[in-house]
Structure formats: C-alpha cells, structure tokens
Amino acid sequence: MSVGTRTIPGVRVALVVTADGGGVLCPLAEDGSAVGPVLRVPDAVAAVRERERADRPRWVWASTAETYPKLLAAGVRVDRCHDVELTEALLCGHAGRWGEPRGLGAALARLRGWPVPPDPPARTKELQPTLFETGEAALPGGVDPLEALVEVHAEQQRRIGGVALPGRFRLLVAAESAGALIAVEMGATGLPWRADVHDALLVEMLGSRSAAGAPPRRLGELAERISQAFGDHRMHPDSPAEVLRAFAKAGFKLSSTRSWVLREVDHPAVPLLLEYKELYRIHVAHGWSWLASWVHSGRFRPEYVAGGVVSGRWATRGGGALQIPRKVRGAVIADAGWKLVVADASQLEPRVLAAMAADHRLAAAAGDGDLYAALAADAFDGDRARAKLGMLGALYGQTSGGIGPLLATLRQRFPAAMNYVEHAAQLGESGALVRSHLGRTCPPASVSVSLEGSEPAFETAATDDRKALSAARARGRFTRNFVVQATAAEWALAMLASLRATLRELGEAELVFFQHDEVIVHCVEGNAERVVTAVHDAAVTATRLLFGDTPVRFPLAATIVDCYADAK
C-alpha cells in the first residue's frame, strides 16, 4: 500500500513498528490530531523509505533508541522525529516531577490515571533483540500501541503549548529529538580507529603486553620504584588505601590520593605515582582489552545516550567515548582519501552567559577572539589568568582561594551577567526550580546529582539547620552552573542538528564524534573546506535560533587533519 503524500497528507506521521518488521502509520497534524487513515504495512522499512523520499515528515515514535537503529541498519535515514520518551522526560521535569518514568506506557498511565509502571532496564548492545523492539511490553494488555502513541503525543503537544515560553520549549524538544537521531547515526557510522596504531601507542606508553593477569612492563617497573621510594614497602599503587597508609607511615597524612593532593606533597614517590596513575588509567580504560571489545572493522562504535546527563549533555553506555585520552587520539585516523574536520566552540559557557543575560559589555568581550584576554584588558589590568579564574568562579560558584575580589570586579563591570547566575543560585538555595534558556529544568532539591551524570540519589531532609544550610548552598552552586551548562548543551544540539542537515545535502561527509562543545566530521578530502564552512554556518544558525539578534559571537575553530591528535 502506498504511503506517499497523496495518501498521507500530515506534517507528522506516527509510527509503530511491529515485531515482525511490519508497521502501523497514522498521519498527524501539528497539534497531534489524526488527519488521515491508519495504514498497516507489511514492511515498515519500505514504508518509511517511501514517505521520507516523498516529503520528509516528522516521525512520531515512542523511542528513537528503540526504533531508529533497525531503520538505519536497513539503509533508511530520516530527517526529523519527535521522540516521545525524551519529550516526556523534559515535560515531567518542567512540571517539577523530574525523574519520573518517561516511557510510552508510563506517559499513557499518567494521562489515563492508571498506576504508573517503571521504565524498563537500560538497553545494552548485548541485549538488543534480533527484531524490532516495540515497547509494547510496557503497555497494559488490550491497549493498541498506535492509539497509545497518538494519544500521548497529542497530550504532549497540548502540554508544550501550556508552558510559559512554548516557542522555546518546542525548539528544545526538536533539538533533543534531533540529537537522538544523531546519536544513533554516529554509533552506527563509528569513529575511524586504527587498531594497529593504538596497539603501537600502548606499547610505547606501557611497554610490552604481559601475560594474562600481569600488569604491562612499564606499570610493573613503576610499582617497583614506588615501593622502593617508600623504603621497599611493598604495595599496590592502584590501591588508594595502601597508598594512604604508605604516606602516613612516611609522616604525611593525606585526605585522598587525587593528583592535586599528591602534588602538594614533597616526597620522591609523588612523581612516580602521578605517572603510574595516568598510565594505569589508560591501561584500564583504553588498553588492549578496550581495543578488543570496542574497535572492529576500523571503527569505534559506542552507544551514545542523548540527554543522558541532567544538563542535557550526552552520556555513553560503555566504551568511554566522551573521555578519549589525548595519548590515544593518534589512533583516530581518517580513511585513505578522506579527512577529519575537528571543530570546537571557544569558551562556550561564558559566551552563553553573555547571550542569556543580554550583558552587552560581556558580549563585546565575547567577540571572535580570546574572551578571557578581552576580559583581562577590560577589567583585570591585562592579567588573563585572573580574568579566567574570576569567570570560572562566577560560573561554578567558587568563593575561596582569593576569588572574592575577582568576583567583585566582575559584578561591577558585568552586572547583568553576574545577576543572572546569582539569581539562579538564589532560586536553587530556596528550593525553587531553575530552567535553562529553552526550558530544561534542573532536578528538584530532593535529588542529589552531578551535572556530569551518574545515577541520581534521592535524599531525606537534613537533620539540623547546619546541614540544611550546607545543602542549600550546594544546590545554589549547582543551579548557578546548571542554567549556563544546560543552555550550552542546547546551543550545541542546535548547532549539531543544523550541521547534520547540511552534511546530508553535501554528501560524502559524516558526523563521527560529538563531545559537549567539540564535533568531528569525517569527509572525502575534496569536501573538507565545504565542511569547515558548514560548521561555521551551523554555529551562526544555532546562535540565531536560541538567542535571536544577539551581538554575542560563538566562534568554532575548525581544523582539517588526517589524525585527531593533530587537531589544535
């Protein structure tokens, strides 16, 4: 049965893929109402391919992470989607119900007043089914998946229209859903990775690979020298407890074995321990076992999790894709006849603050050059280090270590920007909800969570006033940075979505890596300069979408290289 534009006129199309690979489709208006017949097709892939070729609708489905991988594996890329699961998370957070189950079944249960089922366990690569995973198991018996999808999506559209700034929130939903598409595509494409080069780098850093269970030669040598530095006190340098005991025996009582703590200690074991820690981390996180597990057919293919961090930044399930050490980036090499375009946003968070706060003086400093140098010239007698320290203190709520006078200078010179983050901190301390520029909402005061991720922990009330005050101040520091970091994540998603659209038209260019404010495009050599232009244009588009006619500039430094390690 045809699913072309004459059959389905809607600007959106709801899609449920059945376990046998068939599909059920329903055209929708922008408000989510059905505007055409329900179509049942024996081959969902063919139906999506035909409709995508005809007019590229916005596909409405329960979860991009569940539906899109199989379409992509069959060679079908879609232009746009509305991810019900991610949208539900955003809407629940906006309503102050952060962390509630967000799947289709949970959303339908809330809508109909039923008991809300928990979300299923996180998907893993090892547990992916051979056929489409439809999410029907989360729906009560007798509930039609397409009817549930259409009903929940329409209610989401109604809720989006009811927020204080619906235009911004719609952009947030579109960017989050686009990010989900990109995450699946990048995982399928993979980052070019030379296993032979990686192996050579490991041998150079760690020495020859030892027998199973034994540490590499260099780590073994360092462990021996560390023991000798402690008077031949035999120990395991990777054990913090043993290291602390060894220092205590040597007359140094340390609070931890963190690198910055060790650097304050005058002991011959310190430089050896610092080197050991760095090499041990590479051995464990990106050593030979990692190489065997994650790099196949010349590609590193992690599973990216869009919106996996409370600020909107991405996470990964395994592989450590967002923490590739500089010392192994030499293995990331473009294919023959291709190039890597590596681009990163310069000083993104201070520029975001200038745009959000409409601080024209800070915006002037955020020109195309070095923002911290401009701040130094404006307010810190040319001292760039003090300017950077003061701005980071403002963004992260640091007040110790002589930061106070620097913050006072910033308040005097850039009152709009400083008032913006300090107001966010005050709201956070009072327990109020704090939102990003587009409307992503921070977790409530009862949730303790890092902006960099990790599972949230729900806390009980403080047992005394001192604990309550400490918790309130900690939340203020969290919300102060949340408004900036979450908005920076939104800008990056908008930039990425714009770049994806251009690359699709350009051809022979593919997004292969994204990390906070850095993106890598793998492209045929003849397209490299055009990709650089596309990157710069995407930054301009993202800035206009989020902030309109702002004087703030968001420069993206793009470098054309053969190897990731060569990017500056």
Within-domain flag for 179? no
461 DSSP assignment: P
- The token pair at 203 is 């041998």
Amino acid at 20: D
Please tell me the predicted confidence (pLDDT) of residue 568.
78
Please tell me the predicted confidence (pLDDT) of residue 250.
94
Same domain, 29 and 87: yes
Please count the structural domains in the chain.
Answer: 3
Please tell me the predicted confidence (pLDDT) of residue 10.
62
C-alpha–C-alpha distance, residues 198 and 327, integer Å:
10
What are the strands, taking DSSP E only, across 430-504? 447-450, 453-458
Same domain, 480 and 565: yes
Q: How are strands ordered across the β-sheet holding 556-561?
A: 509-515, 518-524, 338-345, 556-561
Range of 24's domain?
12-162
Within-domain flag for 400? no
Within-domain flag for 190? no
Please tell me the predicted confidence (pLDDT) of residue 450.
63
Same domain, 131 and 34: yes
Same domain, 24 and 157: yes
Same domain, 229 and 324: no
Same domain, 325 and 431: yes
- Average pLDDT, integer, range 404-420: 96
Per-residue pLDDT for 7 more than 70? no
Within-domain flag for 434? yes
Please tell me the predicted confidence (pLDDT) of residue 248.
95
142: left (phi over 0), alpha (psi -120 to 50) or beta: left
Per-residue pLDDT for 456 more than 60? no
With a CB cutoff of 8 Å and minimum separation 6, the contacts of 249 are 230, 233
Same domain, 132 and 47: yes
Q: Pick the last residue of a domain from 250, 266, 291.
A: 291
Q: Are 54 and 4 in contact (CB under 8 A)?
A: yes
Please tell me the predicted confidence (pLDDT) of residue 186.
97
C-alpha–C-alpha distance, residues 354 and 416, integer Å:
8
Average model confidence (pLDDT) across the chain: 91
C-alpha–C-alpha distance, residues 377 and 406, integer Å:
14
C-alpha–C-alpha distance, residues 397 and 478, integer Å:
8
C-alpha–C-alpha distance, residues 201 and 198, integer Å:
5
Please tell me the predicted confidence (pLDDT) of residue 129.
34
Within-domain flag for 502? yes
Residue 539: which pLDDT band, with cuts at 50, 70 and 90? very high
C-alpha–C-alpha distance, residues 543 and 478, integer Å:
25
Q: CATH number for the domain including 88? A: 3.30.420
Same domain, 554 and 454: yes
Within-domain flag for 381? no
The distance in angstroms from the start CA to the end CA of the chain is: 53
Each residue's pLDDT tens digit, 260-282: 999 999 999 999 999 999 999 99
Please tell me the predicted confidence (pLDDT) of residue 449.
62
Residue 457: which pLDDT band, with cuts at 50, 70 and 90? very low
Each residue's pLDDT tens digit, 180-213: 999 999 999 999 999 999 999 999 999 988 877 7
C-alpha–C-alpha distance, residues 108 and 117, integer Å:
10
Same domain, 207 and 128: no
